[in-house]
Amino acid sequence: ISEHILYRAKAINHNIKDWENILKTNSAICFFSATNANLFEELISKNKLSHLLKNIDAFCLSEKISHELKTLPFRNILSSPISDLSSLSKTIKNYYEI
């Protein structure tokens, strides 16, 4: 698992090619707040990058967060049953059978 920061509470300006490369070379993204999920959705839509999400799994800290991503064509959107990092980590490990 590697970490790539694509967004913060305030969008950071990335070159569109950076976004494309990050999305093409990763298989999962974790979302920790509905605000960031909304911002991510806006940036993906604005830059017409949704086609790059079809091979990416979204892991969300809560069902509320996953609801914010339903318009995006992720391969899968999974929510942690309990809104804490330990539960999210278990969700990821179980999904990938780690």
Contacts of 25 (CB under 8 A, 6+ apart): none
Task: Calculate the average pLDDT of the chain.
Answer: 90
Better pLDDT: 6 or 42: 42
pTM for the predicted model, two decimal places: 0.84
Asked if pLDDT for residue 65 goes beyond 90, the answer is: yes
Q: How are the residues of the chain apportioned to helix, strand and coil, as percentages rounded to the nearest 5?
A: 45, 10, 45
Q: Over the stretch 14-51, which tens digit does the pLDDT of each residue have?
A: 688 888 998 999 999 999 999 899 989 988 999 999 99
Q: Over the stretch 83-97, which tens digit does the pLDDT of each residue have?
A: 999 999 999 999 999
